Amino acid sequence: MRVTFDHSQAEAGNIWTFFFKPAKPIQYTAGQYIELTIDHDQPDDRGDHRWFTLSSSPNESLLSITTKFAAKDGSSFKTALKQLVSGTEVVMSDPMGDFVLPKLVQTPLIFVAGGIGITPFHSIFSWLAETHETRPIRFIYGVNNEDEIIFQTTMAKAGVHATIVVSQPTDAWGGERGKITAELVLGLQPPTDDSLIYISGPEAMVMSLAKDLRKSGIERRQIVSDEFTGYSAL
């Protein structure tokens, strides 16, 4: 489908949200992703399309994606995205994916986001806040530094218990420090047999955490993962 770029919004430092207007309302479930194609001059060898999780809630009329811009060696795709002007049409696929809330509302949920991997959780938290649905969620969010923390208002609106873990904090940071490890996750929120652990973020981070959780005894059926390919690091 063709969607029209509406506007963008800075979230923090080099993280931006881009809003698109669909020609007619589309249905999706919070946590799903789309493929976005931006036709642009001289695309580099990374090409003219990318996958992005929708950071918007299905209740909103505009669709949004939220992304991080590289300090150096950014792609031609991201440059074209940043240069979009209001009213430009781009191509978006139908939403897809199963990184969505389980049907059973009482399922204990542990959500883990690595950096920009917060996007599906933002969609889910927004949807929960709008629909006044409550779920037993423990949210663990890892960032490199305090400047990269986004979407705190939405976490608060959804009443989510969040722990933010900063790997390179300033001296002023009073919260958790370091990287998100299996020990940290299991220590903060010991899972029960029916808990599900959702992990979203750069591919390497998601795969290594999932592997370590499995080594710590968490069953495969309890891990739901969303790997963002294309990021070399957090």
Ligand X SMILES: Cc1cc2nc3c(=O)[nH]c(=O)nc-3n(C[C@H](O)[C@H](O)[C@H](O)COP(=O)(O)OP(=O)(O)OC[C@H]3O[C@@H](n4cnc5c(N)ncnc54)[C@H](O)[C@@H]3O)c2cc1C
From the CB of 70, what's the least distance to ligand X, in Å? 4
From the CB of 162, what's the least distance to ligand X, in Å? 19
Q: Look up residue 163 and give its two tokens.
A: 């722990």
> What is the phi-psi region of residue 31: left when phi exceeds 0, alpha when psi lies from -120 to 50, beta otherwise?
left
From the CB of 166, what's the least distance to ligand X, in Å? 19
Helix (H), strand (E) at residue 50: strand 49-53
Q: Look up residue 230 and give its two tokens.
A: 């294309």
CA–CA separation, 218 and 102 (whole Å): 18
CA–CA separation, 132 and 134 (whole Å): 6
> What count of other Cβ atoms lies within 10 Å of the Cβ of residue 128?
21
Q: Convert residues 116-135 into a mask of x (bound to ligand X by CB under 6 A) and - (unbound).
A: x--x----------------
User: Is 141 in a helix, a strand, or coil?
Assistant: strand
Q: Within its chain, how far is the Cα of 159 from the centroid? A: 18
Q: Is residue 192 involved in binding ligand X (CB under 6 A)?
A: no
Q: Output the residue with the shortest Cβ distance to ligand X.
A: 230
Q: Which residues of 30-47 are buried (b: 16+ CB within 10 A; e: fewer)?
A: bbbbbebebebeebeeee
Q: Is residue 78 involved in binding ligand X (CB under 6 A)?
A: yes
From the CB of 20, what's the least distance to ligand X, in Å? 14
From the CB of 132, what's the least distance to ligand X, in Å? 26
- Position among 27, 106, 170, 229 found at the interface with ligand X (CB under 6 A): 229
- Position among 2, 7, 39, 46 found at the interface with ligand X (CB under 6 A): 46
CA–CA separation, 207 and 201 (whole Å): 9
Q: Is residue 75 involved in binding ligand X (CB under 6 A)?
A: yes
From the CB of 146, what's the least distance to ligand X, in Å? 19
Phi, psi angle pair for 205, to nearest 5°: -65, -45
Q: Look up residue 41 and give its two tokens.
A: 């001059």
Q: Is residue 49 involved in binding ligand X (CB under 6 A)?
A: no
Q: Which is nearer to ligand X, 27 or 232 (CB)?
A: 232
Stretch of residues binding ligand X (CB under 6 A), selected from 68-76, 100-108, 127-135, 165-173? 68-76
Q: Which is nearer to ligand X, 28 or 184 (CB)?
A: 28
Q: Is residue 20 involved in binding ligand X (CB under 6 A)?
A: no
**Contacts to ligand X by CB under 6 A:** 33, 46, 50-53, 65-68, 70, 73-75, 77-78, 116, 119, 226, 228-232
